[in-house]
A and B are shown apart, each in its own frame.
Chain A
Amino acid sequence: MAIIGIDLGTTNSTCCAWKDNELLNIPNALNSLLTPSVVGLDDDKNILVGQIAKERLLTHPDKTVAVFKRLMGSEHKVKIASHSFSAPELSSLVIRSLIKDAEAHLGEKVTEAVISVPAYFNENQRAATKLAGELAGIKVRRLINEPTAAAIAYGLNKRQEGTFLILDMGGGTFDVSIMEYFSGIMEVHASSGDNFLGGEDFVQAMIDHVLSAKNVSIESLSTTDSHLLYLQMESLKKRIDEVDEEILSFQLNGETVEFKVDQQWFQRVITPLLLRVRNPIQLALQDAGMHAQQIDEVILVGGATRLKHFRVTVAKLLGRILSCDIDPDIVVGMGAGIQAGLLVHNQALEDVVLTDVCPYTLGTEVVDENGNPGLFMPIIERNSVVPISIERTVHTVRDNQDALMIKIFQGENRRVEKNVFLGFVNVPLPKSKAGTQSARIRYSYDMNGLLVVDVSVDSTGKTFNKVIENAPGMLSESEKQKSLSNLDKLKFHPRDNQKNAQLIAKADRLFKSNLGQVREQLASAIANFERILEAQNKISIEKAQQEFSNYLDVLEKEGRF
């Protein structure tokens, strides 16, 4: 009966547990702390999650899917092989795989979890994340904001008091949070962000630039070519700090094309994205009522903050040195793990209280001065401390109006159609002249991001309430059970031979992307490795595994993908 903290990322996921008064990082079957958030099906319809699936993205693009976190909260589905999955279902497969790792590592059953979400996720996306946890068969005790989790990991590690600005740029999202830690209180002052700014977008910008320079449209490219280009750009992004000048060559529609890249090229390509970094930082400072000088420390979280260009831009913007002592890839997972410990009231953490904010404005639709519907009336302003409960009064606008349709929206736009719709309450009213009937709308928002709307009609005293827990269009209880049993039927690839499967998948990928001599060498190496595996001699398998893995690493270091 254990509770774990899960960082469910766009590109990578991690998990941590709090056990015996200390934090445990949980490695996966391949002995790595990071599990790529990639899901696939193998030829026997077994589920593959993590590095193996990532390798197969090139060789089996129709049976593998990545970067699906951005679909959370929408109704789109992804088809891989013959199965069709929604984003919460795909995420639940990643969570299942993390739980299996945790159970193997802790030696006990995992029943509950704390899952981290980007601070700038809206209600629908949060509900989808919670659903993902439930579809993995666990109880989601709390959703924690990623920057908050990172701050917990930092604050409680160092026990240093002060005000922190946390910049969290992961694979797909950019979050900014300002928080203060004093006398055992962790208070979030403001959160802001951009849900479409992350490492994946840098790679995409590079690809777009190369293609437009070569006058090739992305649609005309074969899947293999575009994935290869993707892999090449991803690896270039990772080592860009060491690259002076380099000539890349790749296949575009059957032609071998060369392209020169250098620091200046990279800088130019990503400038539009770096420009978008300023906006949320300024907004967060403004909402917290602070100046950049009042911040004691700037903390970097998330893999994409490793990028030198990002650091330089932010350092210039804020005029200070940045700090990043904990591995930015796993710090969120650690924070989630600590939060899990807090929830079961672990003694070492007893004296810490956490207060958070809700990052979006919540409101309802009203008519404007000309009587046209569609105007957004804020009720709970963004960056209010939660839990919070606020009441506003509305009046009827037409004679003999017999009902009020209260639509609940979330967002910052003046018009409701550009905000996110969460749900509605319909309230019957006694008929009367326009403006004489009124109703009080109360929004209550709790720490778990649960919104409750109470409406009371003044003249009759009747009250109506609605819990906006799961947005409409999500799953009903029976649908949830059905989906859960479908997912239970899926078989996971066995944990113990994951290492071998991953090596073969990687070799297949290298085989597909290379030509000529390297290809022949690879073919014989794969055949050799498979022969040793069939012989089932443990010692020789371990030796061969090591050699084969070294061989593939050397190939990759030579710049072959």
Chain B
Amino acid sequence: MSVWDVLKIQQTNEIGKIKTAYAKELKNCQPDKDPEGFQVLHQAYKAALHLVQKAASEVNKNDRSQQVDSSPTGEEPAPQTPNNEIERSPEEQAYIELLNAEYNRHVERVTVILDGNNTRNDPNEWRFLFHSDFILDSQFNAHLGMFVLDKILKINNEFESLNRHNKRYSQPNSTVKGSTVKYLDGIFHWRGQIQSLRYFFGDDNTIKILNMLEGHDHSTDTQSAINSVKGGKVRENKARKVNHADQYSEAIDALQHLKKLTYWTHGIGILLLSVVMPALIEDDNIGPAMIIGSIITLLIIQIIGVTLKNKYMLYTMWPTSFFLLLCFPWGTFAGWRMSQCLYKGIKYFRYS
């Protein structure tokens, strides 16, 4: 079924028509009543819009390629100085001059910070940028950002081209660290300008930059949340959620181990005891025979418990593992392992 069939219209290049058709169809499959129908319809709608836009941009491209000879479109961004030779009012002119002067001053200061081994990774040195009067000016910000990034890349690439010996004996702050780049991203927001990064620095360098700038880190959020609470007393409870998943898979592993271990120890135990049993019965020692009989039953119950993963049958294994501990040396080892597996394995029931 093509997208046009879903929208129940003929193929068209008019966005308006597509929208009307979508609106009409949407009334029949509202998202909260028919989620699957909605997903199909919405995908068709988006695909149709995309087709139209693609067709439109191709038409544009053809137009442009015909025009190229007559007028070369000069949309080259001027990276270094925000200085365009267009007539401006005196105030604007004054502001631009001020901006240029400030820009040069900032460039000088930034260069000094980046050239110093001790200063380049120190947030205190960079803090002035956050409070600069002009940093909110988007052009100023963008140009300074590109300048800083260019400089950072030069420093880091220079370091990378050193041979191993020089790398090892260089000073600790020879490169600009990822944390610094992340900090500065708070000012220049390079992550949002991937297109221009690629334009200025090429794909390889852009990837280097993006590797240093990862997405938002949720693990730092909690502390800021606690700091902003007013009044009362916050009692901090560690988030245990990720542990749950790990503990759960650990518990499953532990139960597996426990199963093997129990089969061995209990199997041997039952064998030994059943050899003793007939002798006891022949001697008419009914008392001890009863005790050994019930121990065998208990061991069998425990084997069943481990196989079926029954919580209550597993609890009876605590005393068993304790008695095993007393049978030095092999029993001690098995008993110790058993209690460890039990301790971890019991958690399984909390999450399943």
- B241 surroundings in chain A (CB, below 8 A): 421, 471-473
CB of B115 within 8 Å of the partner chain: no
The stretch among A61-69, A300-308, A493-501, A539-547 that forms the contact with chain B is A61-69
- A122 surroundings in chain B (CB, below 8 A): 218
Contact among B19, B228, B236, B248 for A424, CB-based, below 8 A = B248
Q: Are B230 and A473 in contact (CB under 8 A)?
A: no
Contact among A184, A204, A389 for B228, CB-based, below 8 A = A204
Contact with A along B12-27 (1 / 0, CB 8 A): 0000000110111011
CB-nearest residue of chain A relative to B46? A385
Contact among B131, B217, B232, B249 for A64, CB-based, below 8 A = B232
Q: Are A387 and B233 in contact (CB under 8 A)?
A: no
The stretch among A409-417, A454-462, A502-510, A550-558 that forms the contact with chain B is A409-417
Contact with A along B264-305 (1 / 0, CB 8 A): 000000000000000000000000000000000000000000
Q: Are B132 and A271 in contact (CB under 8 A)?
A: yes
- B24 surroundings in chain A (CB, below 8 A): 183
Contact among B26, B132, B189, B235 for A84, CB-based, below 8 A = B235
Q: Are B228 and A80 in contact (CB under 8 A)?
A: no
Query: In which size bucket is the chain B interface?
Result: 35 or more
Contact among B136, B224, B226, B231 for A271, CB-based, below 8 A = B136
Contact with A along B212-227 (1 / 0, CB 8 A): 0011111101101110
| Distance in angstroms between the alpha carbons of A24 and B232 in the assembled complex | 34
CB of B88 within 8 Å of the partner chain: no
A-B contact count (CB 8 A): 198
- B351 surroundings in chain A (CB, below 8 A): 472
The stretch among A25-33, A275-283, A435-443 that forms the contact with chain B is A275-283
Contact with B along A512-536 (1 / 0, CB 8 A): 0000000000000000000000000
- B187 surroundings in chain A (CB, below 8 A): 275
Q: Are A74 and B224 in contact (CB under 8 A)?
A: no
Contact with B along A252-283 (1 / 0, CB 8 A): 00000000000010011101101110110011
Interface residues of A in 420-465 (CB under 8 A from B): 420-421, 423-424, 426, 444, 446-447
Q: Are A473 and B239 in contact (CB under 8 A)?
A: yes
CB of A386 within 8 Å of the partner chain: yes
Q: Are A200 and B228 in contact (CB under 8 A)?
A: yes
Q: Are A185 and B26 in contact (CB under 8 A)?
A: yes
- B242 surroundings in chain A (CB, below 8 A): 407, 417, 421
CB of A323 within 8 Å of the partner chain: no
Distance between A313 CB and nearest chain B CB, rounded to angstroms: 6
| Distance in angstroms between the alpha carbons of A78 and B225 in the assembled complex | 12
CB-nearest residue of chain B relative to A309? B136
Q: Are A353 and B30 in contact (CB under 8 A)?
A: yes
Q: Are B26 and A389 in contact (CB under 8 A)?
A: no
CB of A388 within 8 Å of the partner chain: yes
Q: Are B23 and A183 in contact (CB under 8 A)?
A: yes
**Given A183-B23, A387-B39, residue A426 in contact with residue B230 (CB < 8 A):** no
| Distance in angstroms between the alpha carbons of A403 and B348 in the assembled complex | 15
Contact with A along B337-351 (1 / 0, CB 8 A): 000000000000001
Q: Are A80 and B232 in contact (CB under 8 A)?
A: yes
Q: What would be 16 A-B contacts, judged by CB atoms less than 8 Å apart?
A: A62-B231, A70-B225, A70-B228, A76-B225, A79-B232, A80-B233, A172-B228, A185-B22, A185-B23, A196-B221, A269-B131, A316-B137, A413-B215, A419-B218, A421-B242, A424-B245
Chain B interfacial positions (CB closer than 8 Å to A):
19-20, 22-24, 26-27, 30-32, 35-36, 38-39, 42, 130-133, 135-138, 186-187, 189, 191-192, 214-219, 221-222, 224-226, 228-242, 244-245, 248-249, 252, 351
| Distance in angstroms between the alpha carbons of A426 and B132 in the assembled complex | 53
Interface residues of A in 363-419 (CB under 8 A from B): 385-389, 403, 405, 407, 411-415, 417-419
Contact with B along A25-58 (1 / 0, CB 8 A): 0000000000000101000000000000000010
Q: Are B249 and A275 in contact (CB under 8 A)?
A: no
**Given A183-B19, A196-B221, A385-B42, residue A286 in contact with residue B192 (CB < 8 A):** yes
- B245 surroundings in chain A (CB, below 8 A): 405, 407, 421, 423-424
Q: Are A67 and B192 in contact (CB under 8 A)?
A: no
| Distance in angstroms between the alpha carbons of A74 and B225 in the assembled complex | 9
| Distance in angstroms between the alpha carbons of A201 and B136 in the assembled complex | 18
| Distance in angstroms between the alpha carbons of A279 and B187 in the assembled complex | 10
Q: Are B231 and A61 in contact (CB under 8 A)?
A: yes
Give 7 closest A-B pairs by Cβ, nearest first: A65-B232, A183-B23, A412-B215, A387-B35, A70-B225, A424-B245, A75-B237
| Distance in angstroms between the alpha carbons of A329 and B39 in the assembled complex | 35
CB of A110 within 8 Å of the partner chain: no
| Distance in angstroms between the alpha carbons of A77 and B245 in the assembled complex | 23
- A267 surroundings in chain B (CB, below 8 A): 133
- B222 surroundings in chain A (CB, below 8 A): 74, 76
CB of A483 within 8 Å of the partner chain: no
Q: Are A275 and B39 in contact (CB under 8 A)?
A: no
**Given A62-B232, A275-B186, A278-B189, residue A387 in contact with residue B38 (CB < 8 A):** yes
| Distance in angstroms between the alpha carbons of A396 and B262 in the assembled complex | 29
Q: Are A418 and B217 in contact (CB under 8 A)?
A: yes
- B230 surroundings in chain A (CB, below 8 A): 57, 61, 65-67, 227, 230
Beyond the given A67-B230, A172-B228, A353-B31, please list 20 additional residue pairs across the A-B interface where CB-CB is below 8 A.
Answer: A71-B225, A74-B237, A75-B239, A76-B234, A79-B233, A122-B218, A195-B221, A196-B225, A201-B228, A271-B136, A274-B136, A353-B27, A386-B31, A387-B32, A412-B215, A413-B215, A413-B217, A418-B217, A420-B218, A447-B32
CB-nearest residue of chain A relative to B50? A289
Distance between B197 CB and nearest chain A CB, rounded to angstroms: 14
- B132 surroundings in chain A (CB, below 8 A): 271
CB-nearest residue of chain A relative to B244? A472
- A68 surroundings in chain B (CB, below 8 A): 229, 232
| Distance in angstroms between the alpha carbons of A417 and B246 in the assembled complex | 13
Distance between A347 CB and nearest chain B CB, rounded to angstroms: 15
- A354 surroundings in chain B (CB, below 8 A): 31
- A235 surroundings in chain B (CB, below 8 A): none
Q: Are B226 and A71 in contact (CB under 8 A)?
A: yes
Distance between A206 CB and nearest chain B CB, rounded to angstroms: 13
Q: Are A355 and B42 in contact (CB under 8 A)?
A: yes
CB-nearest residue of chain B relative to A283? B192
| Distance in angstroms between the alpha carbons of A356 and B172 in the assembled complex | 50
| Distance in angstroms between the alpha carbons of A28 and B170 in the assembled complex | 67
Distance between A553 CB and nearest chain B CB, rounded to angstroms: 23
Contact among B20, B36, B235 for A183, CB-based, below 8 A = B20
- B39 surroundings in chain A (CB, below 8 A): 385, 387-389
Q: Are B130 and A272 in contact (CB under 8 A)?
A: yes
Contact among A70, A184, A276 for B229, CB-based, below 8 A = A70
Distance between A268 CB and nearest chain B CB, rounded to angstroms: 5
Distance between B175 CB and nearest chain A CB, rounded to angstroms: 21
Q: Are A76 and B23 in contact (CB under 8 A)?
A: no
Q: Are B23 and A276 in contact (CB under 8 A)?
A: no
- A184 surroundings in chain B (CB, below 8 A): 23, 27
Distance between B35 CB and nearest chain A CB, rounded to angstroms: 4
**Given A279-B192, A385-B42, A472-B241, residue A414 in contact with residue B215 (CB < 8 A):** yes
Q: Are A411 and B216 in contact (CB under 8 A)?
A: yes
| Distance in angstroms between the alpha carbons of A272 and B136 in the assembled complex | 9
CB-nearest residue of chain B relative to A272? B130
- B42 surroundings in chain A (CB, below 8 A): 355, 385
